[in-house]
Amino acid sequence: MPQQDHTIVVKTDLAPGVVVVHPSGDIDMSRSPELRAAIRSVQERKPPKLVVDLSDVEYMDSSGLATLVEAMRTSKANKTAMVICGMHDKVRSIFEIARLNQFFTIVDDLDAAVSA
């Protein structure tokens, strides 16, 4: 079985004022603190827009959802727009079951997120 890459890349050069957090691999209890730390470090800079690109995340558990809910609350407090993009069907269904899709701005891909 091939080793899955588990990294979190932060991109700042896509568009002025847009910061992208791009995790890869599953976001579960063991990895959600890493995602939380990456998002918090971005949010400390208070960018106009934070994009979380989940295109390389095929599974997320409730700890990952909680991390994103916390990030959304912080973004609202900082007056930062937060957009989530690139959700796989499994991850999208978790958002829908928890009815979180009603509270987040969710778009299909990174281009749409940057321009949203």
Residues 98-107 pLDDT 10s:
999 899 999 9
Q: Among residues 6, 52, 4, which one has the least CA distance to residue 27?
A: 6
Give the residue extent of every domain in the chain.
Answer: 8-115
Tell me the per-residue pLDDT of 46-64, one tens digit each, with 9 for 90 and over: 999 999 999 999 999 999 9
- 8-115 belongs to CATH 3.30.360.10: no
Residue 5 confidence class, pLDDT cut points 50, 70, 90: low
- Grouping H, G, I as helix, E, B as strand and the rest as coil, residue 25 is coil
Fill in the amino acid letter for 101: N
